[in-house]
Amino acid sequence: MATAVLPFDPMIGQTLKHYEVEEQLGKGGMGVVYRARDTRLGRSVALKVLPPEFTQDEGRKSRFFQEARAASAVNHPAIAQVYDVDEAPEGLFIAMELVEGKTVKALIQARELDLLGSLEIAMQVASGLQKAHEAGIVHRDIKPENIVVTSDGHAKILDFGLAKLLEPPEPTSAPTGEELSHMETLAKTQAGFVLGTLRYMSPEQARGQPVDHRSDIFSLGVVLYEMVTGQLPFDGATPLDTLHALAFEETRPVTAIRPNLPPSLQRVVTRCLRKRAPDRYPDARELLGDLKAVQKEVESGVSTKVPLAVRLQEQWQALRQRTPGEWLLPGTIALILLALVLGMVFGSQAEGQGDGIPGTLIFFGIVGLFVWRRHRNRTIRLARRVVSKMTRMEEIRLIALDGMRFTVLADRARARTYVRANAIVDSVNGKMFFGDPFSVVVRDDLPPEEEQALLTGPGILYVREEEGGKS
């Protein structure tokens, strides 16, 4: 069988200043990233070589040097350290801390993030942004591809200062038409890069206006939205469609996409994604405080009280964001009930009110009993859906239900076990029109006495049959 041959990269084996290039790690719109060896300090680094089209403008290059040097002075566990920035005959390059792990984009695509994991990443990133913003540094390109999670669970922000290269000189005043023209030109000349990055830009940044630290807060809000829902809040077919959504359209609430998410999380996301910068969080410190409050609420299972006006506003927003398909079932039921009521009313008028009223009462009594019976058995019906899907995982050996909480015992709980179990529960919760959502706990380290108590207690929905007929 023939094997694919990678194209030869002339940079491999070359030396830029005192960095020996060893291998290519990745390639994107902002340049090529290599693993390199710092011969002076004897350490491995990530070396990003920037394309000439980004560095031809001397004014822009000068601003980038200034920004990169300032970023190198920021020291925080959530920020990949900038070691050096320089220019060689091969082009402008920046030497950074070599961070090995998975990008948040890869974690989202592989569905490896749960709610608490997403909140932890967002808090670490917010803490890093707070440190950078206090030093006067704005990232300008916060997106899942620029956040790497290491094997020990630490989030690192990459590419601080690089987005400065994309910024045009700050305009003194620019009408809306010119802003849109600038965005269209940028989209045509750098379509691949801009389309991927535009979805995470703040409205003022996408229009080519001056930005400050609140632009990073908007971008982090987009990343948080995508982590907890798996969907992007602003995603048009073209860059200009996405720009229009950024500037004018409201996002669908995260609680409408995943009903088991706490309303407090929706309030955090909403404040991050305000169109006007003054309406967002004033700084990352306040955002970090609210994220910690949401984390505490999720871990404790105790929801904070929300004012009635806020709850009504969130419910109204959720109803407005429903798709036609989501309105189909309740709309059909409402029309059928309305038709039956009108039929009974007009039927009673035609036959005489005295004869029609008892029939109407009997009809509504039967309908009420049917609805009550369906509601009474609703939980167990939905629970059986969860069990029928979970039992397809061979490592699951027991499933119990206590109220709305599933306890799942597994032979060995791997990462995919947690992800799959939560995805199944989320899928069933997404089909609920009312009521509390299910939650799930996966265990593989239960002591024998606790396992026996669980096995002999109420709420057992599934026990795997072992070989030899034992269960």
Catalogue the active-site residues. Answer: 141
> Beta strands of 136-190 (E only): which ranges?
147-150, 155-157
Q: How many CB atoms lie within 10 A of CB 422?
A: 18
Q: Amino acid letter at 311?
A: R
Q: What is the spatial distance between Cα 68 and Cα 159, in angstroms, rounded to a whole number?
A: 9
Q: What share of the chain is helix, strand, coil (3-state, %, to 5)?
A: 50, 15, 35
Nearest to 378 by CA among 300, 309, 319, 431: 431
Q: How open is the CA angle 163-168-169, to the nearest 5 degrees? A: 120
> Does an H or E element contain 38, and which?
strand 31-38
> How far from chain centre, in Å, is Cα 369?
42
Q: What is the spatial distance between Cα 155 and Cα 291, in angstroms, rounded to a whole number?
A: 15
Q: What are phi and psi of 83, to 5 degrees?
A: -90, -40
Token couple for 333: 């039921």
Q: Amino acid letter at 253?
A: P
Q: What is the spatial distance between Cα 350 and Cα 231, in angstroms, rounded to a whole number?
A: 55
Q: Which long-range contacts (CB under 8 A, 24 or more apart) does 29-37 make?
A: 29/190, 29/192, 29/193, 29/194, 29/196, 29/197, 30/54, 30/159, 30/162, 30/165, 30/193, 35/98, 36/95
Taking only Cα atoms into account, the Rg of the chain, rounded to an integer number of angstroms, comes to 28
Q: What is the spatial distance between Cα 294 and Cα 354, in angstroms, rounded to a whole number?
A: 58
Sheet holding 460-463, edge to edge: 439-443, 405-410, 396-402, 460-463
Q: What is the spatial distance between Cα 31 and Cα 193, in angstroms, rounded to a whole number?
A: 11
